[in-house]
Amino acid sequence: MQQSTLLDEIPSLDISDFTSGDNTLKAKFVQDLGAAFNNIGFVCIKNHGLTEELRLKLYDAVQAFFKQTDEIKRKYEFSELHGQRGYIGKGKEKAKGFKVADLKEFYHIGQPQPEGDMPHNIFPTETPEFEVYSIEVYKIFENTGKTLLKAIAIYLGLDENYFEDKVRNGDSILRALHYFPLDPTTVPDGAVRAAAHGDINLITLLMGASAEGLEVLRRDGKWIGITALPDQIVVNVGDMLDRLTNHHLKSTIHRVVNPPREKMNTSRYSIPFFMHPRADMDLTCLESCVDSSHPKMYIDMTAGEFLNERLIELGLKKA
């Protein structure tokens, strides 16, 4: 748990090292992943299972949906779902601790075959490709996320399958984001595309966006720009994993800044996959991550309780 050197760029790893069957490569991947998550909370991963062809098809479908009128998009917005499925309109979400809403609109896709009281997906009939490609990407990223959680479990000294039952039919969300064009004369004071925040979930998997803008806050207060290479995805620690590991694995603050004035009239699209556990997962800090030098930082709660708390803070749900 010692402090490591400050990084100027996000480390890159190959997930096939973990799955190759070579124990030496697997062990190195585990240590490198853990070190990156302990240091800056972000890593770039290649051989993640998502093809460039599928990525582009999904982006085309997402853009087709968001280019429709607000009237059509609002057909898929249901306030009783608290932003967990379907369309979430402009000005609806603000980062924790911020009074001004983010400059974005988005669409949420959850488990393809939900169980229990989990809500069902809502898909736009005007753009049928949206459903086809988003479900395909959801399944790929869920499997990739499970593999990464195996590596994380090993790094933490847990059984490799520690997270398996906790994420089976979990509350994971694929979010299609549209950062709409901006008029510099009407942008509210302090409003940005995504204000500084930490993700709620265990880990986030992010395919390459359509434009730059994502920045990560380093421990010394310096913001570092991130742009994934075409064959990589960006993976970061979320607040739930941070809580579970008593801040050993760090949920790093990040943001999406507004573009320079000459590019403000352009859109930015981004599609992160937020890997959530089941609502009943216990997020109590692991005993192995608590000692006299690292006292327990968080109160005990379940993933569902934590998610509910954050949805209220984000303005998506009333207290």
Structure tokens at 39: 């240091």
DSSP assigned state of 127? -
Question: Helix, strand or coil for residue 315?
Answer: coil
Measure the CA–CA gap between 124 and 74, rounded to whole angstroms.
10
36, 42 contact by CB (below 8 A): yes
Residues 41/152, Cβ–Cβ less than 8 Å: no
Rounded to 10 degrees, the C-alpha dihedral 135/139/142/146 comes to 170
CB 84 within 8 A of CB 108: yes
**270, β-bridge pairs:** 177
Dist. CA 67–CA 93, nearest whole Å = 20
Contacts from 112-119 at CB under 8 Å and sequence distance 24+? Answer: 112/138, 112/139, 113/169, 114/169, 115/169, 118/169, 118/171, 119/81, 119/84, 119/85
Distance of alpha carbon 13 from alpha carbon 29, whole angstroms: 7
- The upper half-sphere exposure of residue 13, i.e. CA atoms within 13 Å in the direction of its Cβ, equals 27
pLDDT at 93: 85
* 221: Cβ contacts below 8 Å, ≥ 6 apart: none
Task: At 101, list the tokens.
Answer: 């809403």
pLDDT in tens, the chain (319 residues): 344 455 567 889 999 999 999 999 999 999 999 999 998 899 999 999 999 999 999 999 999 999 999 999 999 999 899 889 999 999 888 878 788 889 999 999 999 999 888 999 999 999 999 999 999 999 999 999 999 999 999 999 999 999 999 999 999 999 999 999 998 888 888 888 988 899 999 999 999 876 688 899 988 888 988 877 778 999 999 999 999 999 999 998 999 988 888 888 999 999 999 999 999 999 999 999 999 999 999 999 999 999 999 888 877 777 6
Beta bridge partners of 14: 46
CATH of domain 18-313: 2.60.120.330
Indicate if the alpha-carbon torsion angle 9, 10, 12, 18 is positive or negative: positive
pLDDT digits (tens, 9 = 90+) for 133-191: 999 999 999 999 999 999 999 999 999 999 999 999 999 999 999 999 998 888 888 88
- Which distant-in-sequence residues (6+ apart) come within 8 Å of 68 by Cβ? 126, 127
Structure tokens at 34: 């853990």
Q: What is the pLDDT of residue 169?
A: 93
The 3-state DSSP class for residue 281 equals coil
